[in-house]
Structures are given as structure tokens and as C-alpha cells.
Amino acid sequence: MNYPIILVPGLLASMGDDIVSGTGDFDFGLAQYAYEPMLENLQTMGFKRDQNLFVAFYDWRKQNRLSAEKYLIPTIEKAKNQTGSKKVNLVCHSMGGLVARAYIQSNLYKYDVDKLIMIGTPNAGAVKAYYFWQGGEIPSNEGFGNLFHNLLWEGYTWLHKIFKGLRDSITVKRQLVPSVKELLPSKNYGDFLFTVKNNSYGDFIPQDRMVEQNTFLNDLNNRFSEIYKKGVNVYSIVGNGVKTERFIRVVKNNRGNSPEWIDGKPDDVVYTDSGDGTVITESATAIYGKTNYIQGDHLEILKNCKDTLAMILNKRIHNRRRFNNTRKKHSLCTILARNSKEIYMESKGRKVDIKSIQNRRYGNLVVNNIGKSISSIIINLEEINNVKITFIPMKDKKSNILVLKRSDTNDINERNEIQTSDVFTLEI
């Protein structure tokens, strides 16, 4: 059956007024760089956006059950009504797979999903969530997927500060993004924290003794057989071969009633190569299904899984384009500009009006609007350099500019925030 497709993106991959007031209707926001190629891949299989291909954007800050009820279910209903189909196929990346499971394993399920395709979904959780939930920190970069997620986090928090104001306390951060708790390692993951003993490895801390536990995933995984009883066909596309955090060595928190690092402050990390840089393979395959392994990190697998996805969906690929899947070092520059009337880029003797190429890819640039006043520019520095970007502010308004330059070689690690009422030129 040619059921319609619903793409359910991951953490940070939806932006709109529901998340940050003033950013407009839902779209991929800063994550357009990663997800537009995925939509292009699906379109080469014959799917057409808003005809039989839909995106279930959602407020990824909220608990997954709320996201399923408020955003995923209405998108499924829209797809069924528009196509006349009784079922849909869900193609889910990362947290998107948990949103889908929250629906399928709930009493709200209407037996309207044929295939659940999860790409890099942390079905047993991921240790990277520990850093934010317990300490409010963003973990260090290891690989391109995590590099880009780091840029997304910083861009999101800057937007939130610009529009609302964001305080730094761990309590406020947890209230702002409660969904991160539902990404913590579950009991299926096993014990993942261990202590220091005589300046070496000590004992593991049993999850049952931890203060912060992932009750959401523990519950879903205790009832995972419901998915098969409801007739859903499960597929997992799993990233592999990338250095991924497996265990965390911690020093016990001795600061009394402090909410930070209540289960222990990270002191060291144990890695595995069986993962995608964010999710270990054992987590991605924690529930039974047909599994396909893809070389690449958490975001690269979105592009690299094209052939596998076509096979699962029983589709032929038209207008095939070959991608070089060889991993290489990456560098990105992300720029967010608020209240800029005009933006021009000069490189190799060419001058480009950034405002004229909004909401699409242009060579090595990805440019889009976020609401009425924010422009987002992502530049692949591997392919372009010696760039000058000139920002001309709106009349009688200050222009806020955030520049983030990151590399997975750590030779670039810059953050600049500029506020100006005058014409400003940035050299990259």
C-alpha cells in the first residue's frame, strides 16, 4: 500500500511561536540544514510535500506524550483526510521516534500506523541527556552530528533570551525543557554512572538508587509488546562506527540541597564505537524490529539512509544523486541576525543578497527566516572561506547578531554576540 508519509523530526528540529514567541509558523528553523535533504530524499521516491508527505512539527520541550496528543495525532488526521488513506507510515528521527511510540502505546491510538521507522531513536535513552538534565550543561562535541546539535542549542537559547529572557538556574532550565528527562538512560540501558575509587574506576550506581529516573521510557519499554499486538511493523535504522559516550564516571555531589548533579558530577567518560555519536546501538535497538545499520553519526544517517528507507517503503529512487559518505572533518558557521533590513555576502568577487534567497539552500549556504525579524544563515566552511557579510539594521532599531563558529577538530570554537545600530561587516 502507498500510505502517506509523516516525518517526525527530533529534538530542536521544530521552531515556531509555540516554542519561542515571535518566530512565526512551524518550520525546521535552524535544523533546516539537516532535515531539508531528508525531505529531498523522500521526494526522489515519488512523495510530494503536503500531498502525501507531511511533517509533524512539535514543541520538543514538552513531554513526549503531550507532543503526541497535540501535534502528531492532528498531523496523522490531516494526512488521512487529505489522502483518503486509513493508515500512515511514520519516519521518525531521534526523539521523534519516542513521540510516535507515545502515541502508538497509548489509549488514544486509532490503529492507523502501518510502519514505524525509527532513525537513531534512543529507545533506551542516551547518556548525553544527563549533562543537561542534572547540570544544565551542553556536552562537548564529538563528531559532526553533535557539533550541529551544539549549534542548535546555542542558537535556541539565544533566541529565547532575545524574545523572553532566559535565566541560568538548573530549575528554570528543567522547567523550560522537561522533555530532556525523557531522554535519560532507562532501566533497559542498564547502570551508566560509576564512581571514583582510589583514583580509578569504582562501583556502578544502581539506577534504582538514582534520584532522577526516566519513568517515561521505563513505562514504555515495560509495555513495548503493545506495538506488535497493535499490528505496527517496526524498523530501526541505526548509526554505527562513531565514538559515543557509554558510561559516565561521577564524583558524588556533596553540596547539600543543591539541585545540580544530584546523582553525581561527571569526572570522566567511557566511550564505545558502537553508536552514532549520540545514541549507542544497544539503545537504538532496545525494542525488537527489523534493523539496518548505517555508517555515520546522528545527523549524517538522515542523508545516508536513503537507499535503506526506499527499500523499507518499497520505493524506487528517481533522479538519483550520489553522496560521498566518507566521513571527514567539518566546520560550520551559524549566524542569527535580528532587525537587519539588508544582509549581503561577498566571496570570491561575488556579492549575494542574502534576503533574496530566504528559506532555501544556495550553494554552501542555508538561509531561512525565523519569524518576521530573524534571519538564519548557516555556512559550510569546508567549501567556502574569506567571506564578508554586511548587516544593515532597520531604521531606528538595534540589530542583534549572534555568530557561532564550530569545528569537530576543535581548531575553531568561537562565539560572538554583537549589538549595533550601524552598518556592520563580519569577516569569516
Task: Work out the average pLDDT over 126-150.
Answer: 69
Name the pLDDT band for 18 (thresholds 50, 70, 90): confident
| Residue whose C-alpha is closest to residue 8's, from 40, 53, 50 | 53
Assign domain 5-312 one CATH number from 3.40.50, 3.10.590, 3.30.160, 3.80.10: 3.40.50
pLDDT over threshold 50, residue 325: no
Name the pLDDT band for 39 (thresholds 50, 70, 90): very high
Residue entry with cell 521518525? 92
Name the pLDDT band for 252 (thresholds 50, 70, 90): confident
Predicted confidence at residue 145, as pLDDT, reads: 45
Higher-confidence position of 414 and 278: 278
53-55 and 5-8 strand pairing: parallel
Ranges of beta strands (E only) in 259-398 are: 265-272, 290-295, 331-338, 340-347, 350-353, 360-362, 365-370, 374-380, 388-393
Least confident of 141-150, 240-249, 344-353, 380-389: 141-150
pLDDT over threshold 60, residue 291: yes
297: Cβ–Cβ under 8 A, 6 or more apart, which residues? 143, 144, 145, 146, 239, 242, 276, 277, 278, 327
Q: C-alpha grid cell for residue 286?
A: 532496545
C-alpha 320: how far from chain center: 26
Cα(129)–Cα(184) distance, integer angstroms: 5
Give the torsion sign (CA, 413, 137, 145, 53): negative
Name the pLDDT band for 156 (thresholds 50, 70, 90): low
Please give the torsion angle defined by the CA atoms of residues 355, 358, 360 and 363, in that order, rounded to the nearest 10 degrees: 10
Cα(276)–Cα(258) distance, integer angstroms: 33
Domain boundaries of the chain, sorted by first residue: 5-312, 331-427
Predicted confidence at residue 17, as pLDDT, reads: 83
Per the DSSP assignment, residues forming a β-bridge with 346 are: 351, 388
Counting every residue, how long is the chain? 428
Cα(370)–Cα(373) distance, integer angstroms: 7
